[in-house]
Chain A
Amino acid sequence: MTEPITLQQDETFVLNVGPQHPATHGVLRVKMTMDGEYIYNAETVLGYIHRMHEKMAENRTYPQYMPNMGRLDYLSAMSFNHGYALVVERACNIEVPERAEYIRVITVELNRIASHLVWLGAYVLDLGGFTPLMYCFDDREQILDLLEAVTGSRLTYCYFRFGGLYNDIDDDFITGTRAFIKRMRKELKMYAKLVTGNIILMKRLKGHGPVDQNMCQRYGATGPVARGSGINYDVRRNEPYSVYPEFDFEVPVYGEGDSYARYLVRMEEMEQSLRIIEQALDKLPDGPVNPKKKPKLIKPPPGDYYAAVETARGNFGIRMVSDGGKNAYRLKLRSPTYSNMHLFDEACRGMLIADALAFMGSLDLVIPEMDR
């Protein structure tokens, strides 16, 4: 592999990667100070699509702000819906019917698989393999069709309501989801053969992009990035919300901290999500999906509220301060990619540009969520 070399500061040039670059998957910009193909220093520049989502929360009523949640992380919009619904429900003490909780879990986990599929395709594309992208999008299409039939949208979902859901699922959705689980299990085996076992992929990922536990803790990295570094933390299990405690699932953890560990964590998470969906479909209770008693006007009592969910990329926390009015006094979003991305500056020093971009892909960045 690469020999350790001494990088010289007086022989560098600046390579401007982004904001329009194929590997940054959005408008992230990285100013790389390079010594040949080695990175001497890297500086990420954010804010190209900053849309003031936090400020918007102060100017909109609580239900009006719900659609914004689909526009943060466009790949796992459902989890963000869930986070916001949770914090408002906690603030207003709204009871959620059990059926709604189960459907929430099913849709969130379907969305998580869709998100990981996009990551897998885009990641292998970063590494130069084009074909898995098409397979992943083909599989993701099935999920999008299922969710479209229920929620009405394919990407920026606004499905959750305070205390329940926009509408109930039907039999088509249930049979479709069961068929998808069956299909996806087969596809995952195919990915294991086509992608995971590929020698070029292994050589490019194993031992590259090391992130240790200490670094994760310093930057506040969560999700698959932290779990790839041996930190056994998943909000769904460690700070249970919704009906997650009723399901039997594992949290994959790998201690190596390299890109391959993060890769494996995500691949196994897809399997675990399938398990959760299967159990949820089996246990799905009858009943309404919206509570009988619900305040007409959402006006949380003054106070400071917090809720966290596990999105496809890690811990998404919302801290909401209410002054008793129709709008939030302040809403702080703690999004996972923002913390995960900041590892990059420190970890990529001394890497080759090809490895650095492979490393960036393994962090699974979604730029709109980071810039907010």
Chain B
Amino acid sequence: MSLTLFNVILAVFIAICFVGANAAYLVWCERKGAGLFQRRPGPMENGPWGLLQPPVDGVKLMTKQLLIPGGVDKAIFMVAPVLAMFPALISFVTIPFSDNIVAHPIDVGVLMIFAFAALGGMSLLVAGWGSRNKYSMISSVRAVSQTVAYEIPLMITTITIVMISGSLNLSDIVQTQLGGFWSWNIWPLQKQVGFNLLMPVSFLILFVCSVAETNRAPFDLGEAESELVAGFHTEYSSMGFGLFFMGEYANIVIGACLTVILFLGGWACPVGDLGFFPFTHHVGWFLLKIYLIIFVFIWIRWTFPRTTIYGLLNLSWKYLIPISLFNLLLTAGLLKVF
């Protein structure tokens, strides 16, 4: 199927552009957001409202020397940043932005995203191991145990949704929730979710897990700068660091997309079909929702202090996993009843 192959290549190209632009301007948003929360203007020097800051940063990163410290495992050291970036890119292929904007709606889209997310976790391990730095080593051990701990509740919650919509295809999952917010999966009082009152809790679990999966504050133990200097990317400079950074923001976008698709009705208008309003189902709604979620990510990051590694693991193993398992069983039972 050469046409499909062409489609995929085109999609990856578009995904790279989308991810690149997002990474660059999410950094800007993050800094502006931080400024908003911290009584300061944020970047203001380059361009109006500092809008030219991201390209300038990009040029700076690319023109810096990529320093490879002595004693590192060169091959592993070099492959880690790539490994951080590309799974996120590939995952965009299957994300439906609208009913007709999707690169390749494969039937196991959910599985694919999780497979590549796990690969992203690998990059942290590899970076920490290859750097031959004690801080990086501790950080990568932390990051991997964190990724493993949070992938489990994330997957269990996703399985709940998959049971409700009966498909692993992300487009189909959205198709079941088209309409106003009362037909989204987060809303408990509907037949579709079996009147399961725990659906908002489920959403919360998914949200917390995607914050933890992307190593964002307050779960940024992998790069806890006051303990581990810069964690797994301590030894990286230039674009090596840049790729980690872009990978992080790409993962944030993926996390937000997944949250929106699974629980918030994807590209559906929140108030349903108003009749006179032409954009009932539109990519704009999808983008609006993911950026709202990302704003909450930023908001959380600049408000809370960091947890500790045991607090983080306890939260996952003692609370999130049991609750999500219980919710899975409850949903299965309720779906059988209704």
A interface residues, Cβ below 8 angstroms from B: 1-2, 13, 15, 21-23, 37, 124-131, 134-135, 138, 194, 198, 200-201, 203-204, 352-355, 357
CB-based contact A129/B304 at 8 Å: yes
- Answer whether A131 and B306 are a contact pair too, CB < 8 Å, given A22-B225, A22-B226, A22-B229: no
Does the CB pair A125–B307 fall under 8 Å? no
Tell me whether B310 is interfacial, beta carbon within 8 Å: yes
- Asked whether, in the complex, the Cβ of B218 is within 8 Å of the Cβ of A135, the reply is no
Q: What CA separation (Å) do A22 and B227 show in the bound complex?
A: 7
The A-contacting residues of B in range 208-236, CB under 8 angstroms, are 217-218, 220-221, 224-227, 229
- The answer, among B39, B142, B310, for a CB contact under 8 Å with A1, is B310
The answer to whether A353 and B218 touch (CB under 8 A), given A129-B305, A129-B306, is no
Say which residue of A128, A131, A355, A357 sits within 8 Å of B37 (CB atoms): A131
CB distance from A330 to the nearest CB of B (A): 40
Kindly identify which residue among B40, B138, B225 contacts A353, using a CB–CB cutoff of 8 Å: B138
* Assembly CA distance A165 to B217 (angstroms): 48
B310–A2 touching, CB < 8 Å: yes
Interchain CB contact (< 8 A) of B227 among A13, A124, A354: A354
Please encode chain B, from 7 to 42, with 1 for each CB lying within 8 Å of some chain A CB and 0 for all others: 000000000000000000000000000100111100
A297 to nearest B CB, angstroms? 50
Can you show 12 pairs from A to B with CB atoms below 8 A apart?
A: A37-B138, A37-B142, A124-B305, A126-B226, A128-B306, A131-B303, A138-B39, A200-B311, A203-B307, A353-B227, A354-B221, A354-B308
Which residues on the B side are within 8 Å of A1 (C-beta)?
310
On chain A, the residues within 8 Å of B217 by CB distance are 128
- On whether the beta carbons of A128 and B310 are closer than 8 Å, the reply is no
A198–B310 Cα distance when bound, in Å, is 18
- Asked whether any CB of chain A lies closer than 8 Å to the CB of B76, the reply is no
Known A-B contacts: A198-B304, A357-B226. Give 9 more (CB < 8 A). A15-B138, A127-B305, A129-B304, A130-B302, A134-B39, A200-B218, A200-B304, A200-B305, A204-B307
- Kindly report which residue of chain B lies nearest to residue A13, judged by CB atoms: B134
Closest 10 CB pairs of A and B: A128-B306, A129-B305, A134-B38, A127-B305, A23-B226, A126-B226, A128-B305, A354-B308, A131-B302, A22-B226
* Chain B residues closer than 8 Å to A127, beta-carbon distance: 226, 305-306
Q: Which one of B38, B221, B224 contacts A135 once the chains associate, using CB atoms below 8 Å?
A: B38
Contact A198 B38 (CB under 8 A): no
Fill in one digit per residue for B90-133: 1 if any A CB lies within 8 Å of its CB, else 0.
Answer: 00000000000000000000000000000000000000000000
Contact A352-B303, Cβ < 8 Å, known A23-B227, A128-B218? no
Question: Does B309 belong to the interface (CB within 8 Å)?
Answer: yes
A352 in contact with B226 given A128-B220, A134-B38 (CB within 8 Å):
no
- On whether the beta carbons of A352 and B308 are closer than 8 Å, the reply is yes
Give the residues in chain A near B40, CB-CB below 8 Å.
Answer: 134
The answer to whether A354 touches B224 (Cβ under 8 A) is: yes
Give the shortest distance, in Å, between A119 (CB) and chain B (any CB). Answer: 14
Verify A131–B227 contact, CB threshold 8 A: no
With both chains docked as a complex, state the minimum distance between the C-beta of B82 and any C-beta of chain A, in angstroms. Answer: 28
Roughly how many angstroms separate A203 CA and B307 CA in the complex, as a whole number? 8
Closest chain-A Cβ to B223's Cβ sits at a distance in Å of: 10
Which chain A residues lie closer than 8 Å to B134 at the CB level?
13, 15
The residue that B34 contacts in the complex, of A21, A130, A138, with Cβ under 8 A, is A130
Q: Which of A129, A134, A198, A354 has the most CB of B within 10 A?
A: A354
Complex contacts, A130 vs chain B, CB 8 Å? 34, 38, 302
Q: Report Cα–Cα, A125/B308, bound state, in Å.
A: 14
Q: How many residues of B contact A (CB 8 A)?
A: 28
Report chain A residues within 8 Å CB of B142: 37
Query: Would B310 and A204 count as touching, CB distance under 8 A?
Result: no
Q: Report the bound CA distance from A267 to B34 in whole Å.
A: 25
CA distance A13 to B307 in the complex (A): 25
User: Nearest A residue to B134 by beta-carbon distance?
Assistant: A15
Complex: how many Å from CA A21 to CA B227?
A: 8
Instruction: State A135–B40 Cα separation when bound (angstroms).
Output: 10
**Nearest CB of chain A from residue B86's CB, rounded to whole Å:** 29
> Are A204's CB and B39's CB within 8 A?
no
B residues less than 8 Å from A15 (CB atoms)? 134-135, 138
Determine how close the nearest CB of chain A comes to the CB of B217; give it in whole angstroms. 6
Nearest chain A residue, comparing its CB with the CB of B138: A37
Please indicate the chain A residues that have their CB under 8 angstroms from the CB of B218 in the complex: 128, 200
Chain A nearest Cβ from B220, distance in angstroms: 7
User: A355 contacts which chain B residues (CB < 8 A)?
Assistant: 308
Q: In angstroms, how far is the closest chain A Cβ from the Cβ of B131?
A: 15
B134 to chain A, nearest CB (A): 5
**Cβ-defined contact, B305 with A204, below 8 A:** yes
Which residue from A13, A138, A203 sits with its C-beta under 8 Å from B311?
Answer: A203
Residue from B34, B226, B229 within 8 A of A128 (CB atoms): B226
For A138, the chain B residues whose CB sits under 8 A away are 39
What separation, in Å, do the CA atoms of A200 and B310 have in the docked complex?
A: 12
A131:B38 contact, CB within 8 angstroms? yes
- B225 / chain A contacts, CB cutoff of 8 Å: 22
Residues of chain A lying within 8 A (CB to CB) of residue B229: 21-22
In the assembled complex, the CB of A125 is this many whole angstroms from the nearest CB of chain B, namely 7
- CB pair A128–B39 under 8 Å, yes or no, is no
Q: How far is the CA of A126 from the CA of B305 in the complex (A)?
A: 9
Q: Which residues of B contact A23 (CB under 8 A)?
A: 226-227
Q: Considering the chains assembled together, what is the distance between the CA atoms of A353 and B38 in angstroms? A: 28
- Give the shortest distance, in Å, between A135 (CB) and chain B (any CB): 7
Chain B residue numbers with a CB within 8 Å of A354 are 221, 224, 227, 308-309
C-alpha gap A234/B138 in the complex (Å): 41
What residue of chain A has the Cβ atom nearest to residue B230's Cβ? A22
Interface string of B134-152 (1 = CB under 8 A from A): 1100100010000000000
CA distance A306 to B40 in the complex (A): 46
How far is it, in angstroms, between the C-alpha of A128 and the C-alpha of B301 when the chains are bound?
9
Contact present for A125 and B39 (CB under 8 Å): no
Q: Which residue of chain B has the shortest Cβ distance to A125 in the bound complex?
A: B226
Chain A nearest CB, measured from B178 CB (Å): 38
Tell which of B220, B226, B307 has the most Cβ of chain A within 10 Å: B226
The closest CB in chain A to the CB of B217 belongs to: A128
**Centre residue among B40, B302, B310 by max chain A CB count within 10 A:** B310
Instruction: Note all chain B residues with C-beta closer than 8 A to A129.
Output: 303-306
Q: Which of B275-318 contact A (CB under 8 A)?
A: 302-311
How many angstroms from the CA of A203 to the CA of B312 in the assembled complex?
11
